[in-house]
Each structure stands twice: as C-alpha cells, then as structure tokens.
Amino acid sequence: MAGLVFTLACCGATTRADAPKTDPSSAQLTDESSTLSVAPLDHIDYPLDRPSWIEEHRVPTPPSDGADLLISVGSGPAASPEAASEMMDVMARGAVENYLEQIAQDGPEVIPAERFDVDMDWVRDELISRRYEGTVGMGDDVQYESVCLLRISDEQQQKLSRSIQNYQLEGRLSTVGAIALIGFVGLLSGSVGLGWLASRQRPRAAA
C-alpha cells in the first residue's frame, strides 16, 4: 500500500497527509495475496487438451510377456517449435540408448555406453508411434513442447536383446582368441629359444 500511495502522490491524485490510514496486518495480507497470484517462473502450465498418454508412460514399466514397451519422452519448454522438435529427437534417442544399456546390464559383460550408436532415422520410422506438438505457459511467457511415444514391440525387444547378446559373445570370443594367440606366440618363441640353446650346446659337446 505504501508504494501505491507514493505513486498516486506523484501523480497529484493524493498526498501522504490525505492518504487513509490502513491496518499494517491488512497491508501485509494484501502484499502476500498479490505475490501468490503471480505464477513463479519455473511453474509450467499445460493446456487442458494435452494427451493423457504423455504422463501415463513418462516412467516406463516392464511389459508383460508379448506386450509392447511404451515410453513417452518430451523436449520440455523450448523457445520455438523447431528447438522443441530437435530436443525431442535427442531425448528419444537417449531413451533408446538407456533401454539398450539396461539390457546389457543383464549380461555377463558390461558394454561401455559410447558403444551404443542409435540411428535416429530408425527411431523415427520404427519406434515413434505418436507425436504431440503444443504450447506451455511459464509465468507470462509462452513456450513450446514436443513429445513422442516410443513403442518397442515384443519382436523388436527380442531382436535388440539378441543383438546385445551377440555383441557380448563376439567380445568374449575375441578375448579368448587374443589369449590363444598370445599363448601360441609364447609357445613358438619358447621352441625357438630351446632350439637355439640346443644348437649352441652341440659344438661344445663335440669339442
């Protein structure tokens, strides 16, 4: 209320002497209610027509046998529709890579995360089943959102699982091959060394 009185006094509408006395407690309540009426900048207002599947599949649950795995991923608030779409692609690709890492954790060998290189075109063509483009409110600003629903069918889950298993098997075979090669080289060098020593001993025996 003090700021309001000062503003009116500058405009000549009233003076501090003319200003009515107010209860300090009521002024405090008025300031608090004004503060609460303004949404914080980090608060996001979603439209009422936003699809329900976005939140339903935000946290994926392990599917039952033969069921599809559903994962919804979104861009979050962005300054433009193009930026939202690009961020959604990054998030979708990351979600698939995380899924592959989870499969690999069940195997006997850990695969480094940098070994996973998911083709985004494959994700767009084979896995994205739904899309949503909309706006969200952040304070007084209007931002843009892009969300997609990834659908990994049971057949695709099995193919991805077999791919991980084959990769781990190839890694173990290559390790075994390297060990066998080292052993063969050691055996070969040992044979050559023994032959050289034997050839050195023969002239001495003859002498």
Lookup result for tokens 């900048």: 41
> Residue type for 176, please?
V
Cα–Cα distance between 108 and 151 in angstroms, integer?
A: 27
Q: Model confidence over 130-157: pLDDT tens digits?
A: 999 999 998 889 999 999 999 999 999 9
**What H or E segment, with its residue span, contains residue 70?**
strand 69-74
- State the Cα angle at 114 between 110 and 119, rounded to 5°: 115
- State the Cα angle at 134 between 131 and 130, rounded to 5°: 10
The token duo for 187 is: 């055996």
Q: Is the dihedral of CA 23, 25, 28, 33 positive or negative?
A: negative
Residue pair 144/46 in contact (Cβ under 8 Å)? The answer is no
- As a dihedral over the C-alpha atoms of residue 162, residue 168, residue 173, residue 177, rounded to 10 degrees, the angle is 150
- Residue 80: the pLDDT is 96
- State the Cα angle at 97 between 123 and 165, rounded to 5°: 105
What is the distance between the terminal CA atoms of the chain, rounded to a whole angstrom? 120
Is pLDDT larger for residue 144 or for residue 168? Answer: 144
Is pLDDT larger for residue 94 or for residue 173? Answer: 94
DSSP per position, 66-110: TPPEEEEEE--SBSSHHHHHHHHHHHHHHHHHHHHHHHHHTSSSP
Q: Model confidence over 73-101: pLDDT tens digits?
A: 999 999 999 999 999 999 999 999 999 98
Please state the pTM of the whole predicted model: 0.63
Q: Model confidence over 38-74: pLDDT tens digits?
A: 555 568 899 999 999 999 999 888 888 889 999 999 9
